[in-house]
Every structure is written in C-alpha cells, then in structure tokens.
Amino acid sequence: MEWLDRRYRQGLAHGHYYAHEPIYGVGSPYSEPNHVLRLARTYSVMRRLAQMEFQSLLDVGGAEGYHASLARRLFSAEVATSDLSLEANLRAAELYGVPGVASDAHWLPFADGSFDVVLCCEVVEHVADPVAVMCEAVRVARRYTVFTTDHVCRFARERRIRLLLADTQSPHSELNWFLPEDFRTVLGDNVTLERQLTLEHVPGSPVGGEEPGPAEARSLVLQMARIGGRHTADHGVLVVKARESAPPVDISQRGDVGPLDAILHHQVQSAPHGAEETMAPFLRDRLACPACLAALLTSEGYLECSTCGARYPVERGVAVCHVPDQHGEAEQIAASRWPWMEEPGKAVRRIFVTPRPAPSRLLCYLLDLELALTAGAGTDATAPADYSDSTEVRNALCAGGLEKRSPGSMPPPEVWWNRLPATGDEIEAMRALGAVMVALNARRRGAIHIWRGLLSLASRALRRGLRLRRRGFPDVPTGFWARPEIEALTRSGLISGLSDALYHPDRAVSRADIAVWLGRALAGGDANVPEHAGKPTFADVPATDSRHKYIEYVVAKGVMSGYDEGVYRPEQTLDRGHIAIIIARALAGGDAIPAGLHGRPTFPDVTSEPGDPYRNCHRYVEYLAARRIVKGYPDGLYHPELTCSRDQAAVMLYRALTQMR
Ligand SMILES: [Zn+2]
C-alpha cells in the first residue's frame, strides 16, 4: 500500500500528476507509456458497458478515476471508485470529482448488490487472492460485473510454469495467471468471455516505443479491438458476469465507435477540482463495514460500524475502509459472503493461495525455456554488442534470449537470483544452456535436433532443481525463523548440515564453521576457494585438515586471524561480539570500517565508552546495524556476550551476502 500511495503521489509537486492512464490525451509525457494499448483496453470495456442498462457503477482498483469518469460521461451513470490507496482516491476526487473509498478489493465495504455495474480491470493479476476479489466484485454488483486481465494462458501447464516464475517479492508485481475457464468455474452461469485485444499485425509497435498521434492511435485501437477468431496474438480476456436479473451481453457485436471518439477526447487539465471535504451522498449511502457488512454510523471524522464497532477514518472526503487486522479467520468469514461458490471454484482458489517457492535463477531460465518450447515460440537474439563487463555466461544467456534483464543490471555470473552464489553445477548448466542457445540462434536451420536435446537437458535439470529445492533439514521446519536463509545458503552450497544430516540451528557456531562458510562466499563458491600453497600457518590446522584451505583463505583476506601463540583454535565457539567483527570485515573487504558513527549507539550494550567491555566491537556492530544485518533482541540490546548459534550466523551471513557486490 505504501508503494501504491507513493505511486499516486508521483509528480504532484511538479504541477503535473503522473497519471496511470493517458488522461491528458494520447502522447502526453505526464502519463505512463503504452497509450494506445491503454486506450484500446478502455474502448473494449466501454463498448460492452454501452450494451448494458445501468444507473450506478463502481470501479474496483480504479486508480485515478479515469474509467469511472468516462462511464459517467458516456452513460450518465452515477459512479464511484475504490482503490487500496488513499492517494489514488484523492486523485480521482481532484481530477474528476469522482467519489472514492480506500478499500481492499478482497473486502469491499458495500452490501450485496450495491451497484448496477462493477468494473474490475487489470486487478486480479496483482492480488493475493484473485478468486476472493472476483467473488467480492460479483457480490457487490446488482446486474453486471466486468473483469479484464491480460494474464491469460492457453493451457494448464503454461499457467503452472508462469505461476512458478512470478516474482512474489517486488511491490505491485503480477502474481497470477489465469485460464479462461477459471472465470466460468468460479463465477458460474451467465458468464461471457471474449478476447480483449489482438496485437496481430498492429504496425508501429503500440506496446512500448514512441506514442503515436491521435489519428494513428484511433486507427490502431480499432485494429486492436477487432472482433473475431482467436489466434496467438490475442491479448487478455474481457469477462462479463450477468446476474439473474440481467440479460447476457452479446459479444458478437462490434459496438459503436462513438465511445472511442469520446475516449480520445476525454482529457483533463492538470488544474485539479480540489478534494471534496464531505463524502458524496451517493457513495456514503452505499458504504458498509468491510468486515461484517453492517451499516456504518457517521461520526466526526470517522465512520463506525453499528455491529462490530470497528472505526474507519475519513480523510478529505475519502473513507478509509480497510478491514481491521485483528479481524481474524479472514478466509472463512470472507468465504461465507459468496454462498454460490461451489467446490470447483474453491479448487481454483486454492491454486492461487497456495504458497509458492521463490524461484532460483536457474529454475527461471529452465522454466522460461520450457515455456518457449511448449508454446512453440522461438527466442530472440538480443545479445548486446556494447556490453563491456560481460562474461561468457552472461553473454550467452542474453544472446539466447534467456536473460531478459538489461545486462547492466545483471549481477556477476556467480551471484544470481537474490544475489546468492550459484553452485558450480548451476553455473555449468547455465553455461551449457547459453552455449546451445547461441548455437541455435546462429544456425536456425537444422536446429530441430538441438531443440530436442535442449528440452531433455532442460527437463532433466528442472527435475533435479525441483528435487534440490524440496530437500531440507528435518530440524529446520517450515515456519522456523531462519529457514529461508538456511535453505537459500544450503542450496547455494555455502553452508551445510552436520554429519548426522541435521542442521542443528541452536548449536554454537565454531571458528572453523564460519571460516568455511565465509571462504566459500568470498570466493564465489566452494570450487573457487584456492588451495593453500606452502607451510600451514597454524599449528592446530594442518594441511590434512579438511578445513585447512578455507581457514588460510579467510586469514589471508584479513577477515579472521589466529592467536598469538600461532594457533587458530578451530573448535572454539564465537560470541555475538566477535561474529560481528568477522562478518563486517568480510562485507567491507577488510578492516577499513569507520571508527564508529556519531550520535547514540544503536544498542546500549555495545558502545564506544571507555568502560564498555565490548567497545572493540562497537564500530563493527554499528556497521552491520546500519545495513540491517543485525537487528538485536526484542529487549533492544545486541547481547554481544551471548554465544552465536548456527541459525543466527546463517541469517547474518545471508543478509551480508545480499549486500555484497
Ligand atoms: Zn462491522
């Protein structure tokens, strides 16, 4: 939500709000790119609305109120918008005078059947529980609900792969992919589905690139919104659910192009309406408690639920109706709102709400490749010629079209997904894949056997990758606080369990353990840790000791050191004060760490005061705290005196690695 609020505040200080939709007209630099695509989507929705009889409309996920205001203008309906972000609703009020409510699409603050039409465009691919959002939109609609999404797959296998590839970490990411039949399964009878757009034979690349002028835009939109057969250039679906009281829409109708001209001329000036101080009665009368759907009572500056007592603030005429956190049992309560949902619909819901693993970079390549192969699509050769900091692997992957990030933003080859070092095997597999892709692009003719070989290589590696990802330590169960870090580091080959195949998270970490882990991390993988030539430095770590080369390496790097009498004491445990010194040196590449920051120490028990027994750790702990690598205990102390356990060490190492170049 923070991300959305920031998004919808963008540009306000500069006189032009930076709009989501082309509200200032096609070609304006003050709105997000791909104007023609956006106009074509809008047109495809408006021509279906033109077939419906309605007096009221709610736009769920309505951003700055563009669609709602268009519907008001074209169909003389009373309209409202609802967006998670308060800022988006404020923009809708300022730009168009469209009333809005800040609410979560999973929990709409309206009683059943509050609006004749509910619009929900390009929302369901972004939300945590898309089936809940679909059901809520239908619940609140009296006659029609209209959904659009461009995240549609042709077959179940493609959907499964795309779900695995979805990046669940970044804000406002696209989490969900749908099969067209999902909508019928979830929404029941009286559902029509049509292709939203076609991108086939549309010249001038309307997706990205220069924005065309109004005349060209008009002709492009008409081509993209053509009615007719399905083919591979189809883009998205438009779904209409008609309630019992409403006749289904006729999707064979081309629709009137009148709305299109109105859309092309539907521009606002940057001079805003100014936010309203009171809520529009049209919207106020329809609001209900999002948690229990009971009536809301108006008080000074807030609304209060007549049944559960929850309070919802009103900010500049916009009610903020987010379900209280402590509401609990969200899933059961929400499901009781959609009594019509049947078991197949619930099964579709489970597909989306089941937690997905964060994909490894290699897995992404393989899945992407498999997708390209199963979908029958080729790959584009996009090797950048001017990429100076290139490596064999990186270039090959870019050339093969497997790596789609810009090369400049790619981390070094041994540091991939989540900036974690890949194992030697993974790098080998990527190298092989990249080489084959290059060969394939160089000689497309006669390449069919290469495709086949590649597919078998990919699926073998894929199976192996999936197997690897399922393995875990029995004593590091799901939900254990350090499990993601321990798993990621294990998968990368940086850390390992003890000889009994357990991880023993609560055991103290030894000086030898930490030398082995850091040695691998600093060298970019186990295979790259150099053998130590010459006489062993420490009497208690002979060359026959399996940890010898790691210890020599981290000592040579200035990260750790031995004791005065020429010993290393590999089995000795470390306290949290000492581990901070080691991790900080590893991250800083030596001891060049500022002598401590000015101001109050982050932890009252690690200071630079002369009497503090841990004052020699102070600058290192501050260095790590500033980078969020150590966060201390709930009591606000760092506790440098406590022994560092293997789970704590893994978490610190993981956090430090995510910041290493
Ligand atoms: Zn309530």
Q: Residue 473: its pLDDT value, please?
A: 80
Cα 157 to ligand 1 centre (Å): 42
pLDDT tens for each residue of 102-113: 999 999 999 999
Cα 304 to ligand 1 centre (Å): 8
Cα 294 to ligand 1 centre (Å): 5
Q: Which of 327, 349, 371 is the last residue of a domain?
A: 349
Cα 107 to ligand 1 centre (Å): 12
| Mean pLDDT, range 250-261, rounded to an integer | 82
Cα 376 to ligand 1 centre (Å): 52
pTM score over 0.85 = no
Cα 322 to ligand 1 centre (Å): 11
Same domain assignment for residues 441 and 321: no
Residue 117 confidence (pLDDT) above 90 = yes
Same domain assignment for residues 287 and 375: no
CB 125 within 8 A of CB 177: yes
Q: Which CATH number goes with the domain that contains 285?
A: 3.40.50.150
Q: Residue 456: its pLDDT value, please?
A: 56
pLDDT tens for each residue of 140-180: 999 999 999 988 887 776 777 778 767 666 666 778 999 98
Same domain assignment for residues 105 and 218: yes
pLDDT tens for each residue of 568-612: 999 999 999 999 999 999 988 888 877 755 668 889 999 888 888
Cα 67 to ligand 1 centre (Å): 30
Q: Residue 381: its pLDDT value, please?
A: 30
Same domain assignment for residues 159 and 255: yes
Cα 110 to ligand 1 centre (Å): 11
Q: Sheet holding 318-321: strands in order across?
A: 191-198, 234-242, 141-149, 115-121, 56-60, 78-83, 100-103, 318-321, 311-315, 302-305, 296-299
Share of the chain above pLDDT 90, in %: 34
Q: Could you list the residue range(s) of the whole structural domain that residue 415 is in?
A: 361-470
- Tell which residue, 173, 23, 168, has the closest CA to residue 88: 23
pLDDT class for 389, splitting at 50, 70, 90?
A: very low
pLDDT class for 423, splitting at 50, 70, 90?
A: very low
Residue 591 domain flag: yes
Residue 511 confidence (pLDDT) above 90 = yes
Q: Residue 414: its pLDDT value, please?
A: 36
Cα 298 to ligand 1 centre (Å): 13
Provide the β-strand partners of residue 281. Answer: none
Q: Residue 217: its pLDDT value, please?
A: 83
Residue 476 domain flag: no
Q: What three-state secondary structure class fits 429?
A: helix
Same domain assignment for residues 269 and 150: yes
Residue 355 domain flag: no
Structural domain total, the chain? 3
* Alpha-carbon dihedral sign for residues 538, 542, 543, 549: negative
Cα 306 to ligand 1 centre (Å): 7
Q: What count of Cα atoms within 13 Å lies in the side-chain half-sphere of residue 80? A: 31
Q: Which of 349, 383, 404 is the last residue of a domain?
A: 349
Same domain assignment for residues 577 and 635: yes
Q: Left (φ > 0), alpha (ψ -120 to 50) or beta: where does 111 sit? A: beta
Residue 303 confidence (pLDDT) above 90 = yes
**Rounded distance, CA 133 to CA 148, Å?**
13
Cα 289 to ligand 1 centre (Å): 5
For 533-572, letters b (16+ CB in 10 Å) and e give eeebbbebbeeebebbbbbbbbbebebbebeeeeebebee
- Tell which residue, 87, 82, 85, has the closest CA to residue 59: 82
Q: Is 456 exposed, middle or buried (0-12, 13-18, 19+ CB in 10 A)?
A: exposed
Same domain assignment for residues 595 and 452: no
* Amino acid at the residue 31: S
> What six digits make up the tokens of 215?
């005349």
For all residues of the chain together, what is the average pLDDT?
A: 79
pLDDT tens for each residue of 40-66: 899 999 999 999 999 999 999 998 899
**Rounded distance, CA 463 to CA 466, Å?**
5
Residue 356 domain flag: no
Residue 354 domain flag: no
Q: Residue 115: its pLDDT value, please?
A: 97
Residue 56 domain flag: yes
Cα 343 to ligand 1 centre (Å): 28
> What six digits make up the tokens of 295?
């009536």
Same domain assignment for residues 105 and 208: yes
| Mean pLDDT, range 13-33, rounded to an integer | 74
Cα 288 to ligand 1 centre (Å): 8
pLDDT tens for each residue of 199-216: 765 654 445 556 777 888
Cα 341 to ligand 1 centre (Å): 23
Same domain assignment for residues 46 and 153: yes
Cα 333 to ligand 1 centre (Å): 12
| Mean pLDDT, range 370-380, rounded to an integer | 42
Cα 313 to ligand 1 centre (Å): 14
Cα 109 to ligand 1 centre (Å): 10
Residue 463 confidence (pLDDT) above 70 = no
Same domain assignment for residues 147 and 249: yes
Q: Which one has a higher pLDDT value, 274 or 72?
A: 72
Residue 284 domain flag: yes
Cα 112 to ligand 1 centre (Å): 15
Residue 477 domain flag: no
**Rounded distance, CA 568 to CA 555, Å?**
10
Same domain assignment for residues 93 and 211: yes
Q: Which of 285, 317, 349 is the last residue of a domain?
A: 349
What's the maximum distance between 2 C-alpha atoms anywhere in the chain? 90
Cα 295 to ligand 1 centre (Å): 8
Q: Residue 446: its pLDDT value, please?
A: 44
Cα 296 to ligand 1 centre (Å): 8
Same domain assignment for residues 608 and 521: yes
pLDDT tens for each residue of 466-482: 454 445 687 888 778 88
Residue 454 confidence (pLDDT) above 70 = no
